[in-house]
Chain A
Amino acid sequence: MDFGPHLLLAILEGAVGAAVLALTALGLSLVFGVMRVVNVAHGEFFMLGAVVAWFIASPIAGHPAIGFVAALALAPLVAGAIAVVVDRFVLKEVEYDPEATIVGTIGVLYIIQQSALMIYGPEARPVEPPFNHRIALPWFEWGETGLEFYYPWGLSTTSYKLFVIVAAIGILLAFWVIMSRTRLGLIMRATQLDRETALAFGIPVQRVYSIVFGFGAALAALAAVLIVPIQQAHYLMGHDPLLLSFIVVIIGGLGSVRGTVVAALLIGMSDGIISVFLSPTLSKILATLLVALVLVFRPQGLYGKKMA
């Protein structure tokens, strides 16, 4: 393949990654924004989404779309419910103390991950996509007769991958509508702005925290259900999304929805593109160092409010 078609392919792959990353990171960002809790177990809720999707979809016979839709509806609920339990029995008990919640969620990370290993096992298993047509993409070049279109070998995508991108955009829009146009969103934003005043106005802050923590986990699980027909479900799959979400949330500005989405696009696309041309490990090294240095040199500049 020439450079042009190769780049287009890389951009398409990057867009799928960015779409899923935006949803995952949004969950992390929401939880940090409203609750000021750094949820280290966030990647495990992503993994839960994929693993639960497999448990739901694999026993359902018939068209793969039935199982997939069931997983899309139920897996985020399961992950969200587990997150609510974590909030009630761990985070609330330590009164949302920043350091204690980090240590506590590290513990939760291992509990969820290892429980998945015991119940689901160490294998990687796929979920069948609801539809999967190969779509060949055209490329153009200047020939003797002007602009010529042709189909380069290997330049293709699948209808499912395009669906992932569209679905992620839809979910992001829905999220934006919930946050800015509904009463629930208003309550969440009020709690984020000023916990004490919200409490004084009769907002049940504790319940809002539970909902937000469950909602954040459900977003990660939803992203995982979308990606699981492309990547397989595995009990260690939460590690990379966690790391990338951290990167996105820090670069984008903690708690800021717009910043998170923009940064997810930036990081997801460049991760996809760099991985095609360079080694994926090298691109991850550069991204992690970049984040560390951003935090060191421009902590306020990029996320507005001070973290500590």
Chain B
Amino acid sequence: MTVDTRSVLLHLGLIALLIVLGLVLPTYHQGNLARILVLATYAIGFNVLFGYTGLLSLGHAMFFAAGMYGCGLAMHLGGWPVLSALGAGIIAAAVLSLIVALLALRTIGVAFMIVTLMFAQAFFLTALYLGEWTGGDEGFVIAQASRQIAGFALTDPLTRFFAALAVFSVALLITARMMHLPFGRVLIGVRENEERTRMLGYDTFRHKLLAVIISGTISGGAGAAYAVLFGYVGATFASVQYSIFPLLWVLLGGMGTTIGPLIGVAFMFYLIDYASGLTNAYLLIVGAALVLLTLFARAGIVGEIRKRWVPWLP
């Protein structure tokens, strides 16, 4: 088998496994898994920029929240149907990521992290400031009756699960395919050595620009899906914490791997779920995980597996 077929089989196998899990799991875990899949989509978006292109953004929550607010406000205030509201969310995230990319990509390294952090903070504060429409900290709930596509109610656990799986699968397959195309190879080249990639004649700025836009748009799509599937939109999702989470998930699962984001989210989700039963300071786990990862396992779970046993893992 060539590497290509193996990676196609891996991704389709993963989706098949998730379908089976969705059918057999009890409702509680079905709901958890739906949430994990949507958040994993967000992590996949983050991974395009951080894992493959080597650009660490500390402000991805603004893209996630742009999608969420774009979609949520269109439904809540505009009364749009689900599909066009999803479109509105994705477009909002794409436009925001274009603007942020044009400005932030003028900087590199630590400055890039701080600029993205600052833009995200400004976005978060703006969401609070416009509380009249966004509901500020408290946010708003999207009416249950409006959350349906062609008669399928997204409030039904099984439907919601499959909708989440569909969103995840699209993001997974797009990124997995992208990394096999020359475009994705150039992104990896930028990560490994930007100077040399430029010397080889590639327009690295254009590639980085597209990477930010693709990454931001996928993140925004995840945000829009989250709003529709779980019916809640709030400023928490724009806060620094939600910029740190995808970093944690991707580091944990394995940066620059296609399935790492899902593994990272699932692991962290159940860890936090377990820890919050014990203490209200469950973010302590997040902190400890970040420190331990920086110290001992920079490659993450899938990254370590790839390094030790399965070198072909995409």
Chain A residues engaging chain B, CB cutoff 8 angstroms: 38, 90, 93-94, 98-100, 102-104, 106-115, 117-118, 122, 239, 243, 246, 250, 279, 281-282, 284-285, 288-289, 291-293, 295-297, 299, 307-308
Q: List 18 A-B contacts (CB under 8 A).
A: A90-B295, A99-B113, A103-B247, A107-B286, A107-B287, A110-B287, A111-B288, A114-B284, A115-B281, A117-B281, A246-B114, A279-B129, A282-B129, A299-B107, A307-B107, A307-B110, A308-B108, A308-B109
Q: How far is the CA of A102 from the CA of B107 in the complex (A)?
A: 17
Q: Mark B273-296, 1 if CB is under 8 A from A, else 0.
A: 000000111111011111111110
Interface size on B, residues (CB 8 A): 44
> Is B218 located at the chain interface by the 8 A CB criterion?
no
Q: Mark B148-161, 1 if CB is under 8 A from A, else 0.
A: 00000000000000
> Is B142 located at the chain interface by the 8 A CB criterion?
no
Is B291 a contact partner of A289 (Cβ separation < 8 A)? no
Q: How far is the CA of A117 from the CA of B122 in the complex (A)?
A: 27
| Highest count of chain B CB atoms <10 Å: which of A111, A293, A299 | A111
Residues of chain B with a CB closer than 8 A to A107's CB: 286-294
Within 8 A of A (CB), among B129-146: 129
Is A295 a contact partner of B122 (Cβ separation < 8 A)? no
Q: How far is the CA of A110 from the CA of B292 in the complex (A)?
A: 13
Is B109 a contact partner of A114 (Cβ separation < 8 A)? no
A106 and B244 contact, Cβ closer than 8 Å, known pairs A99-B56, A114-B284, A292-B103: yes
> Is B197 located at the chain interface by the 8 A CB criterion?
no
Is B114 a contact partner of A100 (Cβ separation < 8 A)? no
From A98, A110, A281, A299, contact of B283 by CB (8 A) = A110
A238 to chain B, nearest CB (A): 12
Residues of chain B with a CB closer than 8 A to A118's CB: 279, 281, 284
Is B281 a contact partner of A295 (Cβ separation < 8 A)? no
Residues of chain B with a CB closer than 8 A to A250's CB: 114
Residues of chain B with a CB closer than 8 A to A122's CB: 280
Q: How far is the CA of A168 from the CA of B288 in the complex (A)?
A: 34
Q: Give the total number of A-B pairs whose CB atoms are below 8 A apart.
A: 130
Within 8 A of A (CB), among B92-129: 103-104, 106-115, 117-119, 121-122, 125-126, 128-129
From A90, A102, A112, A117, contact of B110 by CB (8 A) = A102
A308 and B284 contact, Cβ closer than 8 Å, known pairs A106-B244, A288-B125: no
| Highest count of chain B CB atoms <10 Å: which of A94, A106, A117 | A106
Q: How far is the CA of A239 from the CA of B279 in the complex (A)?
A: 22
Is A114 a contact partner of B113 (Cβ separation < 8 A)? no
Residues of chain A with a CB closer than 8 A to B119's CB: 288-289, 292
A296 and B288 contact, Cβ closer than 8 Å, known pairs A94-B294, A104-B295: no
Which of chain B's residues has its CB closest to A109's CB? B287
A281 and B291 contact, Cβ closer than 8 Å, known pairs A102-B113, A115-B284, A307-B110: no
Q: How far is the CA of A138 from the CA of B126 in the complex (A)?
A: 38
Is A104 a contact partner of B115 (Cβ separation < 8 A)? no
Is A111 a contact partner of B287 (Cβ separation < 8 A)? yes
Q: How far is the CA of A243 from the CA of B280 in the complex (A)?
A: 25
B245 to chain A, nearest CB (A): 11
Residues of chain A with a CB closer than 8 A to B56's CB: 99, 102
Is B291 a contact partner of A295 (Cβ separation < 8 A)? no
Q: How far is the CA of A102 from the CA of B57 in the complex (A)?
A: 12
Is B122 a contact partner of A110 (Cβ separation < 8 A)? no
> Is B306 located at the chain interface by the 8 A CB criterion?
no
Within 8 A of A (CB), among B253-284: 279-284
> Is B251 located at the chain interface by the 8 A CB criterion?
yes
> Is B298 located at the chain interface by the 8 A CB criterion?
yes
From B58, B111, B293, contact of A299 by CB (8 A) = B111
Is B128 a contact partner of A243 (Cβ separation < 8 A)? no
Q: Mark B232-262, 1 if CB is under 8 A from A, else 0.
A: 0000000010001001000100000000000
| Highest count of chain A CB atoms <10 Å: which of B115, B292, B293 | B115
Which of chain B's residues has its CB closest to A242's CB? B240
A293 and B103 contact, Cβ closer than 8 Å, known pairs A94-B295, A100-B298: yes
Q: How far is the CA of A104 from the CA of B290 in the complex (A)?
A: 6
A98 to chain B, nearest CB (A): 6
Q: How far is the CA of A115 from the CA of B279 in the complex (A)?
A: 11
From A94, A113, A288, A297, contact of B118 by CB (8 A) = A288
From B111, B114, B290, B298, contact of A110 by CB (8 A) = B290
Residues of chain B with a CB closer than 8 A to A282's CB: 129
Is B106 a contact partner of A297 (Cβ separation < 8 A)? yes
